[in-house]
Amino acid sequence: MNKKKHPEGLPAKEVLCDFIHDSATPLSKRDIARAFSLEGQDRIALKALLRELTEDGAIEKTAGKSYKVPDSLPETGLVEIVGLDADGEMIAKPLHWHGKGAPPKIYVAAPSRTENALNAGDQILVKLKRLSKDEYEARILKTLDEAAGKIIGVFKPYKDGGYVYPTNKKIKEDYFVPPAFSKGLGEGDLVAAELLPPSAQYPRSKKAVRIAERIGKKNDPRLISLIAIHSHGIPTEFSAAVLKEAEGMAEPALEGGREDLRAVPLVTIDGADARDYDDAVFAEPDIHPKNEGGWHLIVAIADVSFYVRPQADLDKEAFKRGNSTYFADRVVPMLPERLSNDLCSLMPHVNRACLACHLWIDKDGHLIAHKFVRGLMRSAERLTYEEVENAHKGYPDDKTGPLLETVIKPLYKAYGILKRAREVRGALEIDLPERKALIDGKGIVTAIVPRQRLESHQLIEEFMVLANVAAAEALEKKDAPCIYRVHASPSFDRLENTREFLKEMGYSLPKAEHLKPKNINHILQISSDKPDKELIHTLLLRTQSQAVYSPDNIGHFGLALEKYAHFTSPIRRYADLIVHRALVRTYGLGAGMLEDFEQETLSEIAEHISQTERRSMLAERDVMDRFTAQYLSVNIGRDFKGRVSGVTHFGLFVTLDESGADGLVPMRSLPRDYYIHDEKRHALVGKDNGYSYRLAQPVVVRLVEADPLRGSTVFEMLEASSGVLDKRKRSRREKGRPRQSGKKRPDGGKNKSRKNGPQRKRR
C-alpha cells in the first residue's frame, strides 16, 4: 500500500484499515470521524484517505456510501441453511457470493416463536453481524416461502381431489390437490407437489398444488429413505451416458509402470454388509538395519482416478453427488455399480488396479518414509471386522485361520505401535456412541442398537489415518495442490463459555490460544468416574468445530495432526479422487491426473464437496429419526429413561438410554411456570417452581407422539422423576418463603407467569 503522510490527527492507513476490518457492520464516514474525533479539515482529509484506500482495494464502498472489508457480506441478505454444527447451531451460506475463496460461515439464531422451524435448504432473509473475517451471526428477518419449491408429502384422497400432508415437520398446513391433478393417485402415495399460481379458481388461501411426481407407493418398504432423498435433493439416477461410459470399462493390464502387488497378501476388512471395498492392508517388520523395531505397511486403495477422468460424464456426475449417502435400507452411490461394486472394488482373488502407499514407521510409530505407486493387486481375502477380531482373540475360522500368523497378527502388532503413537500425540478421545437401525425384509425396523466399536475398527482407522497423513505430506513436500481435510480448533467464544462453566465445576481448561486436544482428554479422563461425566463430555464435544475440506492447510485439531487429507475412500468421496489425481500428476504416475482447471478451482470444489457431505449427513440423520419414530410408534404412552441432550428456548431434547432415540419435550409439557433459558448453564430454570432442567441430566419421559413419515418424536416430562430444584429456590423454600402461585402478591399484583399457561423467556 502506498504510504503517504496525512494531516496531524488523521489515523494512519494501517490503523484505519484495522478499525474498519474489526467493525461488525459497514461504517459511514461520519462513524469513522466520530470514532477518531476528527473535525474540520481532518474530515476533508479523511474523505481523501478513504478514497485512496478504496482505490488500493484495502476497503470497499457500499451502495449506501459506507465502508466495509472487501468480500464481506451486506448488513441484510439472503442465506441458505446448510445444516447444524456439533453444538446444534444452524449454519448457513450466502445465497449469492462473489468474493474470493470460500464463503464465510453464518451462524443463524433460532426463530423465537417456532419449534425446530428451519431445515437444510431453507432460504431466509437475515440481518448480518460480522463476528470475524470468516464468520457472521444472522438474525432472521423473513423466511422465504418454502412452498415455492417442491413439497414432499403423503397424498390422501378427498371427494374427487385430495390433500398433500407434508413430511417436513416444519410445515404445519396441508395442500389441496384439485381433481385434475389427483388422477391415478392412491391413499398414502408419497408425492412431490408444486404450488399452482394464484387464480380466481385457486386463490392463494386455498394452497392448491399440482402433483409433479409420484415418488413411491404407500406400501413401499423404502418409503422412509425416499422421503429424505427427495427432501434433500440427493441425485439417485445415473444418466444413460454415464452408465454407458462405465459399462465400457475393463480391468487394466500390468503395464504403464504399475507395480505388481499380486503376490502380497493384502486383505480388505469391512463391515459385514459392505459391498464396495476400497482399501486393503498389509504389514510386516521392516528388515532395514537402521530401523530396528520398525514396520513396513502397505495401504492399497482402489485406483478410481484410472477410470474416472476429469470432465468425463462419470466425473461430472461424481462431482455433483460429492459422496455416497448411506441409509439403513439402501446406499445412494457416488459411482455406478459397475465401478463401485465391481471394477473399483477390491474383491478377493481377482486382479484390481490400485494406488498403493508404502509406509515405513519406526518403533515409536513415527512415519519416517512413504512411497506412492500405481499397482495391480489381488486381495487375498475379504474379511469382516468381526472375523478379524475373533481370530485375534483366538477364535479363527476357515477364512482367518490360514491368515492368522502371516497377516492378522502382524497387522495387530503394527496397530499397537500406531495406537501408542496416537496416545502420545494427544489426539482427541471423544468417542461418540453411534446407533444403527436393524431392518427386516419388509423394510420395518426391528431394533435400534449400538454400532459395534471393535479393536479391528480402530486398527483400520489407524492405518487409514497414516496413509492420509502420507498423502498430504507427499503433496505438500512438492508444493503441489491438495484438498486437505481440516478441523479448526474450537472458536474463542464457544470455548470461553465452556471454560468458565467448567471452572465453576472445578475443572481447568486452558484458554483458546493454548488449548491442545490432550488438555480436553485430561478433563475427559478425570471426570470419567464422576457424577457429572455425561455433562462434561457433552459440553466438551460441543465446543468442537466441524471438519471440512479446504485447499488451505490449517491442520486437524481433533487428530492433533499438522497435515491431513482424505485419500483412502475414492469410491465414495470425491475429495479422495481429487487427492489421487494430484498424486498422479505430482509423481508422474500416468493418466488420470489433476487438470489445470481443477487446480484453479480447488476452493470451489472444496466448498461444494463440504456442502454435499453436510447434505448427506442431514439426510442420514433424517432417515434415522424416521426409523426411530417407526420403531417407537408401538410404544405410545410408555415411559422411558433418558438424558437431556439439548436445551433450547422452546423446550428440551431428550435421548433415550435404551435405544438412543431422540425426541423433543416441548416447553408446554413442563410443569407450569415461567422458564428462563440460561445459555451459560445450559439449562431451563423455572422462575417460581424452582425446577431446573440442564444438559446431560437424567430424566424420565413419556412418549406421546411418534410419526415415522414426519420423523417427529415428542415426549412429555414426568414431573415426579425429573427436574432438580434450583439451589436458590430450594433455599427460599427451606427458609419458609413459599412461592406465590396465582395468589396476590404483597403489591396486589398477580403472578403473570401463570396467567396464560407455560411461558418462556424470548430471545
Mean pLDDT of residues grouped by 10 in the chain (763 residues)? 48 82 82 86 84 74 77 75 71 72 80 51 79 82 55 91 89 89 90 84 84 85 88 92 94 87 98 92 96 97 97 95 94 96 96 97 97 97 97 96 98 98 91 81 85 93 98 97 94 79 84 84 86 80 88 94 97 98 97 94 92 92 90 93 87 87 88 84 84 87 92 82 41 40 38 36 31
Nearest to 120 by CA among 234, 235, 232: 232
The pLDDT of residue 118 = 66
Q: Return the bridge partners of 436, or none.
A: 449
User: How do the residues of the chain divide into helix, strand and coil, expressed in percent and rounded to 5?
Assistant: 30, 25, 40
Taking the C-alpha atoms of residue 336 and residue 356, their distance in angstroms, rounded to an integer, is 23
Looking at residue 565, what DSSP letter applies?
A: B
Per-residue pLDDT at 743: 37
Give me Rg for the CA atoms of the chain: 29
**What gap in Å lies between CA 500 and CA 523, rounded to an integer?**
14
State the DSSP string of 524-543. HHHTTTSTTHHHHHHHHHHT
Q: At what angle do helices 41-56 and 13-22 cross, to 10 degrees?
A: 80
Polymer length of the chain: 763
Indicate the DSSP class of residue 556: B
CB 346, CB 379: distance < 8 Å: yes
Cα–Cα distance measured from residue 269 to residue 383, given in angstroms and rounded to the nearest whole number = 5
DSSP 658: T
Q: What is the pLDDT of residue 418?
A: 98
Q: Which amino acid is at 251?
A: E
What b/e string do you get for 476-502 counting C-beta neighbours within 10 Å, with b at 16 or more? Answer: eeeeebbbbbbbbbbbeebbebbbebb
Three-state SS for 272?
coil
Give the helix/strand (H/E) hosting 299. Answer: strand 295-302
- Please give the Cα distance from 733 to 251 (Å, whole number): 79
* Cα separation of the two ends of the chain: 44
Give the bridge partners for 384, in sequence order: 270
- Residues 102-127 as b/e (b if ≥16 CB within 10 A, e otherwise) read bbbbbbbebbeeebebbbbbbbbebe
Each residue of 736-763: pLDDT tens digit? 444 433 333 333 333 333 333 333 332 3
Q: How many CA atoms lie within 13 A of 356 on its CB side?
A: 27
Q: Which residues contact 633 (CB under 8 A, 6 or more apart)?
A: 706, 707, 708
Report the predicted TM-score, pTM, of the whole model to 2 decimal places: 0.76
Answer yes or no: are the C-beta atoms of 497 and 681 closer than 8 Å.
Answer: no
User: Is the four-CA dihedral 472, 477, 483, 486 of positive or negative sign?
Assistant: positive
Q: What is the DSSP string of 1-64?
A: -------TTSPPHHHHHHHHHH-SS-EEHHHHHHHTT--THHHHHHHHHHHHHHHHTSSEE-TT
Reading the block at residue 484, the C-alpha cell is 486437505
CA 56 to chain centre: 39
Domains of the chain in sequence order: 13-68 (1.10.10.10), 76-143 (2.40.50.140), 146-220 (2.40.50.640), 240-484+554-619 (no CATH), 489-544 (no CATH), 636-760 (2.40.50.140)
CA dist 201 and 179 (Å) reads 13
Closest to 226 in 3D by CA, of 713, 750, 709: 709
Asked if 408 and 395 count as a contact pair (C-beta separation under 8 A), the reply is no
Give 441's contacts (C-beta < 8 A, 6+ positions apart): 221
Q: Which of 77, 62, 78 is CA-nearest to residue 26? A: 62
